Structure 1
Amino acid sequence: MKNYQNQDMDKEGKPKYAELWGDRVVLKELLIASVIGIILTMAFYFNASRYFLSQEGIEPGLAKGYSLMIGIGGCLLGGIISSKLFKPKREVVESGEELDVLGAIEAAGSTLEDEIKAMGNTNKQSIEEMKALGLDALLELDKMKEEN
């Protein structure tokens, strides 16, 4: 059994979240998202199939292929709708240990100079996101180079 924190329990003491593919999900939301995806996918597919098969000059095999592509579009729309309805439940918690930035850079097969150059080409929005996520150590690569 997973070690759940108190806020992860419902009123009856059961876990609110289920572990699925290494992520935490609310089963009710997963079920609703799946139903939305299935309904939109099949609705798009069957309506497209009816439309393309009724068109003169389109071979049945080609009409079914077009219908499948439209059905995939319905699946994507279902995913977009579900992502707007149900926000992620995961919490990224950084431990108190400092990141070994230089070790990580070396393990990635890069050099400090390459990373400094890459960070210099990073746009302001990405830098703000890195600051918000607490990844400030990567923004101070110049200082690390001077120290070494």
Structure 2
Amino acid sequence: MEKKEGVFYDIWGDNVNLKDLLISIVLSIALTLGGYIIAPNEPPMPLVFGLTGGIIAFIISSILIKPKRKITTETEDND
């Protein structure tokens, strides 16, 4: 049984699955904003916590969402 990939959309020259894109965006916003909100109110801390949340969101997104590209290489025969 084949796994259905879904519909892909062209965004900035790359084809993406809309469901995966929305999951990644929501996760990034939630963790970045969450880190900013829970940070102490001292000047560099909200920035540091927000950036840390963004990095954690990137790591989680890269684990959850696998690439769907199939790379094929072609060689030229010189017969």
Show CA shifts across 1:8-32 (max 9, x none): 885xxxxx21122222210111011
2:20 aligned with 1:41:
no
Structure with the greater relative contact order (CA < 8 A, sep ≥ 6): 1 or 2? 2
Deviations along 1:66-96, one digit per CA (max 9) or x if unpaired, are 2111100100100110111100122222123
Q: 1:85 aligns with which of 58, 61, 64?
A: 64
Per the normalisation by structure 1, the TM-score is 0.45
8 Å CA contact 1:24–1:90 kept in 2: the answer is no
Which runs of 5 or more residues in structure 1 are unaligned? 1-7, 11-15, 54-62, 99-148
Separation (CA, whole Å) in 2 of partners of 1:35 and 1:42: 11
Matched, 1:72 2:51: yes
Over alpha carbons, which structure has the higher Rg? Answer: 1
Q: CA RMSD in A?
A: 2.0
Contact 1:24 1:89 in 2 (8 A): no
Q: Would you say the 8 A contact 1:23–1:90 is kept in 2? A: no
Residues 45 and 68 of structure 1 are in contact (CA less than 8 Å); yes or no, is this contact kept in structure 2?
yes
Asked if 1:31 corresponds to 2:22, the answer is yes
Give the residue type in structure 2 aligned to 1:94.
Answer: T
1 or 2, which has the higher helix percentage?
Answer: 1
Q: Which has the higher strand share?
A: 2
- How many residue pairs get matched? 74
TM-score computed with the length of structure 2 as normaliser: 0.79
Q: Output the CA distance in 2 between the equivalents of 1:29 and 1:18.
A: 11
1:29 partner SS: helix
